[in-house]
């Protein structure tokens, strides 16, 4: 259980870093403070773990018709949802959220690939357990 919590917090840290970089790239994404950035990353992690799977299941036909591209819209909607819930986190519109979500997803994917091995363990834990990376 502690390992799962540490992994979730590591992913939130990666998401916070990705959101911060997205705010530097896109002028329509802004944070009023570090607190709003951290709360946004935490809430985005919770939304992606709880709400996003339900939306994906409900939109399977639309996702199949669009060959999976509707998942990009779902990612943008998750960012917009978090921006409406967190004071101090602002996204100027849908298209900004759309492209920012692509950037956040790619940055999180690459950062997560370096920090976690394919089995889901942190990279340093896998090395101590003798697992080849």
> Is residue 126 situated within a structural domain?
no
> Is residue 12 situated within a structural domain?
no
HSE-CB of 81 using CA atoms within 13 angstroms: 17
Look at residue 12 and give its three-state secondary structure: helix
> Is residue 125 situated within a structural domain?
no
Residue 100 near residue 22 (C-beta atoms within 8 A): yes
Question: Cα dihedral angle (121, 8, 79, 108), rounded to 10 degrees?
Answer: -30
Residue 28 structure tokens: 């329509």
Domain extent for 96:
28-118
> Is residue 90 situated within a structural domain?
yes
Interval 29-66: pLDDT, tens: 999 999 999 999 999 999 999 999 999 999 999 999 99
Q: Is the entire prediction scored with pTM above 0.85?
A: no
Interval 20-34: pLDDT, tens: 999 999 999 999 999
Strands 29-31, 89-91: pairing is: antiparallel
Q: How many domains does the chain have?
A: 1
How far is it, in rounded angstroms, from Cα 54 to Cα 117?
A: 27
């Amino acid at each position: 259980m502690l390992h799962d919590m540490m992994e979730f917090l590591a992913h939130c840290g990666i998401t916070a870093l990705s959101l911060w970089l997205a705010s530097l790239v896109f002028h329509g994404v802004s944070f009023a403070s570090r607190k709003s950035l951290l709360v946004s990353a935490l809430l985005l992690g919770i939304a992606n773990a709880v709400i996003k799977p339900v939306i994906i299941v409900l939109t399977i036909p639309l996702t199949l018709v669009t060959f999976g591209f509707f998942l990009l819209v779902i990612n943008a909607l998750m960012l917009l949802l978090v921006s409406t819930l967190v004071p101090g986190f602002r996204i100027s519109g849908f298209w900004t959220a759309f492209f920012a979500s692509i950037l956040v997803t790619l940055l999180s994917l690459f950062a997560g690939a370096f920090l976690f091995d394919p089995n889901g363990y942190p990279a340093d834990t896998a090395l101590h357990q003798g697992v080849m990376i």
